[in-house]
Structure 1
């Protein structure tokens, strides 16, 4: 039996942060449950008020291989460094001398989506860029 996992993010704006990570990872919005064609139909049927419809958001790997990402609204802002973070692999399969330029190029793309570069690091034969998503969660591009 395959183990399914979900990675959960606390967020100020779940739909906005979820849309960012969907673009980063090539994910899509999680589909509403049958028989609903849209989330609004589903939430209407559940009686969820309009002002609460931004309280959660989920994205999934369209190939069904990666974990589901769940974004839940919380009132407090992020405080401190993440204890767990995602790594975005931009240099997989490239020769070592080509990885830094591929990683830097991917980091530049992610900045156009709202990410912020914190620093670059090269050690133990690896190269990565540490970044923050639009809500300040750290992640690495390697």
Structure 2
């Protein structure tokens, strides 16, 4: 089981995940963006959207739920807001 994320280059902070017995009772104190689409400068909107949608499908199969799609016509941004099975919010970008 994965308990932390460590930057292999050693520059970024270690992100540690701690399980607790209590259920969620309030809004998240932090918000994660799971970046899978790629950089706007390097990847077309259509390709980023396909990558995000594929990851969203994988996460739905793993138990997450879609809250809403974050997209507007004419804006070069696409993301999907989701929640994990315990109600923790995050975006797939």
Larger fraction in helix: 1
Q: Same fold, TM exceeding 0.5?
A: yes
* Contact 2:65 2:82 (8 Å CA) reproduced: yes
Q: Greater CA radius of gyration, 1 or 2? A: 1
* Contact 1:60 1:66 (8 Å CA) reproduced: no
Count of residue pairs brought into register by the alignment: 87
Structure 1: which 5+ residue stretches go unaligned? 1-18, 20-28, 30-57
Which residue of structure 1 lines up, in the alignment, with residue 4 of structure 2?
59
TM-score by length of 2: 0.72
Which residue of structure 2 lines up, in the alignment, with residue 86 of structure 1?
32
TM-score by length of 1: 0.51
Which residue of structure 2 lines up, in the alignment, with residue 115 of structure 1?
64
Structure 2: which 5+ residue stretches go unaligned? none
Describe the superposition over 1:85-113 as per-residue Cα deviations: whole angstroms up to 9, x where unpaired: 11111111421232222211111011222
Equivalent positions of 1:1-142 (< 5 A) are 19=1, 29=2, 58-61=3-6, 63=8, 64=10, 66-92=12-38, 93-123=42-72, 124-142=75-93
